[in-house]
C-alpha cells in the first residue's frame, strides 16, 4: 500500500444534509473542513422500494470500510439504515443529527484531535 | 430546482479510490461546489469497484474487470440508480451524470483498456492504457435505462486521473453540461 491523501474517515450522511435547503446546515463544508468522506443515504422522497435498493448498496460499501478499520459515523437519521447495516454484521455506529456547524465539528473531531 | 446530478461515488468520498488514487482527504470539492452553487441536487452513485474488488484492489484496466460476475454486480447497482433516476424523470426533473474519466468502471468518454495487461502488475507512469469508451458500470446503467425506455442523461467525467487534466476545462465542461 503506497498511501495517498485519503482520510480513512467516512460519514453516512442523509440526503437532506448533502442537499440542504437555503440557509440550512452546510454539512458538506464541515465534513470537508474536518477531512471526512461521504456515503450519501437515500433521500426521504424516494419510494421505499427504491430506497431499499440503495440502502443495500450503502450497507455493502460500508461493510468494506468497516472491515478495513475505517472510522465510520452516521449523520442524520434514515429509516431502514440500522437494519441494512445489521444485516451486514456492522455494529451500531456513532450517530448525530447535527443542528449547528460547531456541534458537527465537535462530533467529527471527537477522538481525532 | 435546476435538476439532479448523479455523481461518481468518489466525488464525495475519495476513500473509495484504489490505493494511491485519492487526490483529497474526502470530498473532491471543485465540482461539488459548482453543482451546489448552481442549485443542483446531488445524488451519489455507489462505487462499482469498492465492494467487488475491495479497498486493496490493484489499478486495473477494463479487460481485467470485465467478467460476468462484475457485470452482474454493476447491473445490480445500475438497477438501484436507474430506479432513482426514474423517480426524477417521472417528476420532470432534469438529470445529468458525472462519471470518472479514465476509470474502467465509471468512464464516460475515456476508460482504461489494454488487452495485454494481466498477471503480475507493472504500471509504469505514463502508460498507454487510456482509451476512448465507457466503463463497465456506465455501460450497464445505460443498458438498464434503455430497458426502462430512458436514455443515459447528458454526461461528463471528472478528468483528474488523466495526464492532461485541466481543472478550468473540467469546470467549463460541467458548466456546459449544466446549461451555462
Query: Quick one: cell of B25?
Result: 482527504
Query: Quick one: cell of A23?
Result: 440557509
Q: Which of A5, A53, A61 sits opposite B50 (nearest CB)?
A: A61
Answer positive or negative: Cα dihedral of A16, A22, A27, A31.
Answer: positive
Residue A5 with chain B: CB contacts under 8 Å:
14, 22-25
Collapse the DSSP code of A76 into the 3-class scheme (helix H, G, I; strand E, B; otherwise coil) and give the result. coil
- What is the mean pLDDT, run by run of 10 residues, along chain B of 180 residues? 93 93 89 93 97 92 96 97 97 96 96 88 64 92 96 94 91 92
The pLDDT, as a whole number, for residue A2 is 65
Touching check for A107 and chain B: CB below 8 Å? no
- Each residue of A66-105: pLDDT tens digit? 999 999 999 999 999 999 999 999 999 999 999 999 999 9
- Residues in Cβ contact with A111 at an 8 Å cutoff, skipping those fewer than 6 apart: none
CB A18 within 8 A of CB B44: yes
The pLDDT, as a whole number, for residue A111 is 59
CB A63 within 8 A of CB B47: no
Cβ-defined contact of A4 to B12 (cutoff 8 Å): no
Touching check for B54 and chain A: CB below 8 Å? yes
Count of domains observed in chain B: 1
Q: Are strands B4-7 and B41-44 parallel, antiparallel or unpaired?
A: parallel
Query: Quick one: cell of B159?
Result: 478528468
The pLDDT, as a whole number, for residue B125 is 59
What is d(CA B26, CA B16) in angstroms, rounded to the nearest whole number?
9
What is d(CA B51, CA B57) in angstroms, rounded to the nearest whole number?
10
The pLDDT, as a whole number, for residue B30 is 87
Q: How far is A86 from chain B (nearest CA, A)?
A: 17
The pLDDT, as a whole number, for residue B71 is 97
The pLDDT, as a whole number, for residue B6 is 98
Q: Give the mean pLDDT of A16-44.
A: 96
- Which range of residues forms the domain containing residue B164? 4-177
Nearest to A112 by CA among A39, A40, A38, A35: A35
Amino acid at each position: 500500500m503506497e498511501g495517498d491523501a485519503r482520510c480513512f474517515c467516512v460519514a453516512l450522511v442523509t440526503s437532506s444534509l448533502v442537499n440542504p435547503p437555503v440557509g440550512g446546515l452546510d454539512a458538506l463544508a464541515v465534513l470537508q473542513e474536518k477531512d471526512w468522506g461521504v456515503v450519501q443515504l437515500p433521500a426521504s422522497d424516494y419510494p421505499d422500494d427504491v430506497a431499499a435498493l440503495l440502502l443495500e448498496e450503502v450497507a455493502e460499501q460500508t461493510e468494506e470500510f468497516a472491515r478495513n478499520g475505517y472510522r465510520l459515523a452516521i449523520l442524520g437519521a434514515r429509516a431502514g439504515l440500522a437494519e441494512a447495516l445489521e444485516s451486514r454484521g456492522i455494529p451500531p455506529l456513532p450517530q448525530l443529527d447535527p443542528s449547528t456547524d460547531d456541534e458537527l465539528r465537535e462530533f467529527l473531531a471527537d477522538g481525532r484531535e | 430546482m435546476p435538476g439532479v446530478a448523479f455523481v461518481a461515488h468518489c466525488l464525495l468520498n475519495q476513500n473509495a479510490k484504489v490505493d494511491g488514487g485519492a487526490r483529497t482527504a474526502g470530498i473532491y470539492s471543485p465540482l461539488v461546489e459548482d453543482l451546489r452553487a448552481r442549485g443542483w441536487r446531488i445524488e451519489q452513485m455507489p462505487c462499482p469497484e469498492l465492494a467487488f474488488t475491495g479497498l486493496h484492489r490493484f489499478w486495473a484496466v477494463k479487460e481485467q474487470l470485465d467478467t460476468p460476475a462484475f457485470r452482474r454486480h454493476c447491473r445490480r447497482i445500475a438497477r438501484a440508480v436507474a430506479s432513482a433516476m426514474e423517480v426524477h424523470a417521472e417528476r420532470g426533473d432534469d438529470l445529468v451524470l458525472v462519471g470518472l474519466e479514465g476509470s474502467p468502471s465509471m468512464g464516460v468518454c475515456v476508460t482504461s483498456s489494454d488487452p495485454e495487461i494481466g498477471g503480475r502488475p507493472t504500471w509504469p507512469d505514463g502508460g498507454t492504457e487510456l482509451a476512448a469508451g465507457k466503463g463497465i458500470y456506465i455501460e450497464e446503467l445505460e443498458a438498464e435505462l434503455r430497458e426502462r425506455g430512458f436514455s443515459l442523461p447528458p454526461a461528463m467525467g471528472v478528468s483528474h486521473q488523466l495526464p492532461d487534466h485541466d481543472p478550468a476545462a473540467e469546470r467549463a465542461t460541467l458548466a456546459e453540461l449544466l446549461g451555462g
